[in-house]
Structure 1
Amino acid sequence: MRSAATGPGASAPGPTRRRFLMALLAIDRTSYYAVILSMGLMTLLVSVQVFARYVLSSSIDSATELARLFFVWTIFLAIPHGIKIGIHVGIDALVGVFPENFQKQLARLMALVSALLMAILFWLAIGAVADKWQQLMPTVPVAAAVFYIAVLICAGHSLLHLIAQALQVEPLPSAPGASVEGETS
């Protein structure tokens, strides 16, 4: 199976685009496994907490806070994967009446505007991380900034995908089992 980047009417990416795609692929796969790990830890922690509470009549003091932390990380690490494939809420009633070429150019413009917003969010998240670094979470001796680090990573990762969309660079498949050539198993 051929990838969309080398499909009919598309040319093979140059060396700079290829390096960008390979770096983005590495980030995507790392993020993908981090989402799985975070979801797994959240599920395990909540399950152990329910067992401890209802079977052992005990409780884990930090369970709620840690479960919330894992949930936040799961969501923010997963957002760029949705951006990558265009899964988002949108109303295209007006856009749908425009010619296809105009729709494509409008999509590129919106990707650029969104990339600008992600760059701003990235910058603001750096400030939030720095601001919250000295503050500890109530039940765990960990900086409250770990919540904002997830936002920082999300903004940076999303920015890269939005740049790729604006440049019309087709991303490589990043799910486990997908090869660099675009084949899935």
Structure 2
Amino acid sequence: MKPAPASSSTVLPRWIQRGKTAMEHVDRATAKVLVAAMGIMAVLVCAQVFFRYVLSSSIDWADEISRLMFVWSMFLAIPHGVRAGVHVGIDVLVQFLGERSRNLIARAMLGLSAVLSLVVFYYALIVVIQKWEELMPTVDITASVYYIPVLFAMLHSFFHLLLLSCAGPDLWRLEESS
């Protein structure tokens, strides 16, 4: 049975609705972590500038933790871009095709992207395991914390891409425009 295309007048299959609801919960949670990471990064950078230029001192760990928060915020933002469909795409030839052909190609590319996200997840997991014993230079935390957000981002992106490839590329856009 083929899933119905997502439109404001079409009711989506129950499993797609459940997947959408689950992804909305995950999106809200990761958005909060993303905002917190960006806030921590901003506070640490400002504090470091103040300490260096006003107090002629330095916070040893501030550069490393702010860099870590930057990495986390960048990777946690990727699935939100996937959901909104705002990542770079090349559609020079596809724009000349009919609506049905564009939709089929989009779904195929979303499916291939989902597979690619699992491949990246797998290799990131290997790196996390390999780096687990290594510690960060200024903080007693595993160096794997730089690679863990890749795991989250790829898994989160995989579920968005899977949902979009099954329900259609306009799944989230139709809801946001109404």
Structure 1 length-normalised TM? 0.86
Match of 1:18 in 2: 17
Could you list the structure 1 runs, at least 4 aligned residues long, displaced by more than 3 angstroms after superposition: none
Q: Quote the Cα distance in structure 1 between the aligned partners of 2:129 and 2:33.
A: 23
Q: Quote the Cα distance in structure 1 between the aligned partners of 2:45 and 2:133.
A: 27
Q: CA-to-partner distance for each residue in 1:104-135, whole Å, 9 max, x for gaps?
A: 10000000100000011111111111111100
Letter in 2 for 1:133: W
Match of 1:179 in 2: none
Give the root-mean-square deviation of aligned CA atoms.
2.0
C-alpha displacement of 1:41: 0.1
- Comparing 71-80 with 19-28, greater Cα deviation is found at 19-28
C-alpha displacement of 1:13: 3.4
Q: CA-to-partner distance for each residue in 1:14-55, whole Å, 9 max, x for gaps?
A: 1x2232222211110000001100000000000000000011
Q: Quote the Cα distance in structure 1 between the aligned partners of 2:77 and 2:90.
A: 22
Match of 2:8 in 1: 7
Letter in 2 for 1:11: V
Uncovered stretches (5+) of structure 1, i.e. residues with no partner: 174-181
Uncovered stretches (5+) of structure 2, i.e. residues with no partner: none
Q: Quote the Cα distance in structure 1 between the aligned partners of 2:23 and 2:108.
A: 21
Asked if 2 retains the 8 angstrom alpha-carbon contact of 1:46 and 1:63, the reply is yes
SS of residue matched to 2:147:
helix
Q: Quote the Cα distance in structure 2 between the aligned partners of 1:109 and 1:162.
A: 10
Q: Quote the Cα distance in structure 2 between the aligned partners of 1:35 and 1:122.
A: 19
C-alpha displacement of 1:89: 1.1
- Comparing 85-94 with 35-44, greater Cα deviation is found at 85-94
Q: Quote the Cα distance in structure 2 between the aligned partners of 1:124 and 1:163.
A: 20
Asked if 2 retains the 8 angstrom alpha-carbon contact of 1:73 and 1:150, the reply is yes
- Which is richer in helix? 2
Match of 2:47 in 1: 48
Letter in 2 for 1:60: I
SS of residue matched to 1:111:
helix
Matches for 1:31-110 after TM superposition, within 5 Å: 31-110=30-109
Q: Quote the Cα distance in structure 1 between the aligned partners of 2:110 and 2:159.
A: 11
Q: Quote the Cα distance in structure 1 between the aligned partners of 2:16 and 2:97.
A: 30
Q: Quote the Cα distance in structure 1 between the aligned partners of 2:95 and 2:148.
A: 37
Identical residues among aligned pairs (%): 43
Asked if 1 retains the 8 angstrom alpha-carbon contact of 2:16 and 2:167, the reply is no
**Alpha-carbon distance change, 86 to 24 in structure 1, aligned in 2, over 3 angstroms:** same
Letter in 1 for 2:111: L
Number of residue pairs aligned between Structure 1 and Structure 2: 171
Asked if 2 retains the 8 angstrom alpha-carbon contact of 1:45 and 1:67, the reply is yes
Asked if 1 retains the 8 angstrom alpha-carbon contact of 2:16 and 2:163, the reply is no
- Comparing 50-59 with 123-132, greater Cα deviation is found at 123-132
Match of 1:154 in 2: 153
Q: Quote the Cα distance in structure 2 between the aligned partners of 1:157 and 1:112.
A: 14
